[in-house]
Amino acid sequence: MAIKEKVGIVVNNLMNKTIIIAVENKYPHPIYGKTIKKTKRFMAHDEENNCMIGDIVRIIETRPLSKNKRWLAIQILIKIKGSN
C-alpha cells in the first residue's frame, strides 16, 4: 500500500499543534475540457507549531489523531517571509 502524500498551503494555524492545509486539484471537465480547480481542506498535526499561514507544506496520511485530524505535516517546503 502506497503512502498518501499531498502538498498544500497553510490557511489556518490558530489551534494548538494543528494546522489546516488547502490542497488545490486541477482537472479537465469531462465533457467541455475546460480546466476546473477544486480545493479541499485537510487538518494536519504540527507537533512544534512551526507552520505559519502561507507556508507550503507536505503532509502524509496517518492514523486518526482526533475526530477530523488524519494527516501529519512532515516538511515545510517554502517558508513565508516574516514568519518565525
Domain hosting 19: range is 5-78
Give the CATH number of the domain where residue 67 resides: 2.40.50.140
Specify if 20 maps to a domain: yes
Give the pLDDT confidence score for residue 84 in this predicted structure.
Answer: 58
Can you say whether residue 33 is alpha, beta or left, with left for phi > 0 and alpha for psi between -120 and 50 degrees?
Answer: left
Domain membership of residue 83 (yes or no) is: no
pTM, to two decimals: 0.86
- Is 63 a domain residue? yes
Task: Please answer whether residues 20 and 11 qualify as being in contact, where contact means their C-beta atoms are separated by less than 8 angstroms.
Answer: yes
* Residue numbers of the chain with a pLDDT score lower than 50: none
What is the total count of domains within the chain?
A: 1
Domain assignment present for 40? yes
Residue 84 lies in a domain: no
